[in-house]
Amino acid sequence: MAEQLSDRGKRILEAVIEDYIATAEPVGSRTVTRSHALALSPATVRNVMSELEEMGFLISPHTSSGRIPTDKAYRLYVNSILEVKHIARDNREEIQRRCRLAGKDLAQVLQETSRLLSSTSSYMGVVMAPRPAANVFRQIEFVKLAGRRILAIMVSQNGTVQNRLIQTEEEIPPEDLVRMANYLNELLEGLTIAQVRERLLEEMQSEKVRYDSMMSRALCLSEQTISTEGPELFLEGQANILDQPEFADAAKMRDVFRAFEKKSTLLDLLDRSMHADGVQIFIGSESHLLNMEGMSLITSTYMTGKDTVGVLGVIGPTRMGYGRVIPIVDYTAKLISRLLEAD
């Protein structure tokens, strides 16, 4: 019962998994013997598969049909059976080619990266942008537009730009805007956005500001500028998973799309995977954060310079070509890191 997994068991499990990945059909003993050149008869394979089922690696959808791998099987597979291939040459080339045409702003780059992940993997690409709160303040600027509207622009060290349209009560002369910006730039230099927020609050309390209407107005404006929102998420290629046979059923399709519509749960998951460097793999409902039965997530962190700032990855069916996708995610993360690296 609590038997150890034999070497032969492993090989057969591998065969089942790979067949299932390829066909999305429950795989039977005969198929295994045919496709993978094991010198074994179907009967023997049946016995082994039966054991594997007892151990919880396989289940059969119903009595008389082949078996399909469980999440536990996939876990074992990616951990100790699968050897990760080197990235396929044409994948590598495409990634390089598409990364080259950068020169856009950060958001565009990340979105493009997400598309890239999606199209090279043929699943869904996902990129979590650097979380604003960790950015380091670089500069703030106010641009006067028509009427009483001004545009506040805040730039971070890493090139992120946040901007806000602000409708002011009364008109503010341009000189004042400049002075306000100078004041704030000095005040906030080198702080992270999180710290900026604190500092603003402190400053608003302080005596000397209390009675300087311009300063207090400046603080007020800048506070409005700072985003309180979580990091952005770029999710591309949703249509790709429509081709997966497991979602052929319309109801399942709907569920999947609904699930990804509110991105918060996914964000949680990605956020969590930021704390461990390198490639990580979430299989099926292991991470019961998302109701991802039948879905897996492969992520890798990316960085600017030395700091891990974000996560990117691929979401696909549990039945996914891990050997092919893992290197893609890995490589893309490294390339993005290189791209963002200050040199």
Q: Does 164 bind DNA (CB under 7 A)?
A: no
Q: What are the tokens at 119?
A: 């199209």
Using CB under 8 A as the binding rule, the residues of this chain from 41 to 100 that contact a second copy are none
Dihedral angle over CA of 179, 184, 189, 195, nearest 10: 180
Residue 26 touches which member of DNA, a second copy, none, C-beta under 5-8 Å by kind = DNA
Which residue in 30, 138, 197, 324 binds a second copy (CB under 8 A)?
138
Contact assessment for residue 321 and residue 77, using Cβ atoms and an 8 Å cutoff: no
Q: Does 159 bind a second copy (CB under 8 A)?
A: yes
Whole-Å CA distances, 79 to 151, 221, 328:
51, 51, 17
CB closer to a second copy out of 140 and 283: 140
Using CB under 7 A as the binding rule, the residues of this chain from 52 to 71 that contact DNA are 53, 60-67
Q: Does 242 bind a second copy (CB under 8 A)?
A: yes
Q: Choose the binding region for DNA from 36-44, 208-216, 243-251, 290-298 (rule: CB under 7 A).
A: 36-44
Strand 137-144 relative to strand 149-156: parallel, antiparallel, unpaired?
Answer: antiparallel
Give the separation between CA 151 and CA 139, rounded to whole angstroms: 14
Closest CA to 120 of 138, 97, 100: 97
Closest CA to 265 of 297, 243, 242, 237: 297
Closest CA to 314 of 331, 304, 328, 335: 328
CB closer to DNA out of 60 and 157: 60
Residue 60 touches which member of a second copy, DNA, none, C-beta under 5-8 Å by kind = DNA
Q: Does 30 bind DNA (CB under 7 A)?
A: yes
Residue span 271-310 as binding mask against a second copy, x where in contact by CB under 8 A, dash where not = ----------------------------------x-----
Query: CB-based burial of residue 194 (10 Å sphere; 0-12 exposed, 13-18 middle, 19+ buried)?
Result: middle
Q: Choose the binding region for a second copy from 10-18, 65-73, 151-159, 170-178 (rule: CB under 8 A).
A: 151-159
Q: Does 162 bind a second copy (CB under 8 A)?
A: yes
Residue 162 touches which member of DNA, a second copy, none, C-beta under 5-8 Å by kind = a second copy
CB closer to DNA out of 47 and 265: 47
The label of the residue with tokens 């080619």 reads 97
Contact assessment for residue 16 and residue 31, using Cβ atoms and an 8 Å cutoff: no
Closest CA to 109 of 124, 91, 127, 92: 127
- How many other CB atoms are found less than 10 A from the CB of residue 30? 14
Q: Return the sign of the alpha-carbon dihedral for residues 204, 193, 131, 140.
A: positive
Give the separation between CA 17 and CA 15, rounded to whole angstroms: 5
Q: Does 192 bind a second copy (CB under 8 A)?
A: no
Contact assessment for residue 343 and residue 43, using Cβ atoms and an 8 Å cutoff: no
Q: Does 178 bind a second copy (CB under 8 A)?
A: no
Closest CA to 320 of 288, 265, 281, 291: 281
Amino acid identity for residue 324 in this structure:
R
Q: Does 50 bind DNA (CB under 7 A)?
A: yes
Using CB under 8 A as the binding rule, the residues of this chain from 196 to 225 that contact a second copy are 224
CB closer to DNA out of 4 and 63: 63
Residue span 171-210 as binding mask against DNA, x where in contact by CB under 7 A, dash where not = ----------------------------------------
> Where on the chain is the footprint of DNA (CB under 7 A)?
8, 26-31, 39-44, 46-47, 49-50, 53, 60-67
Binding site for a second copy (CB under 8 A): 102-106, 109, 138-139, 141, 143, 145-149, 151, 153, 155, 157-159, 161-167, 224, 238-239, 242-243, 247-250, 253-254, 257-258, 261, 305, 342-343
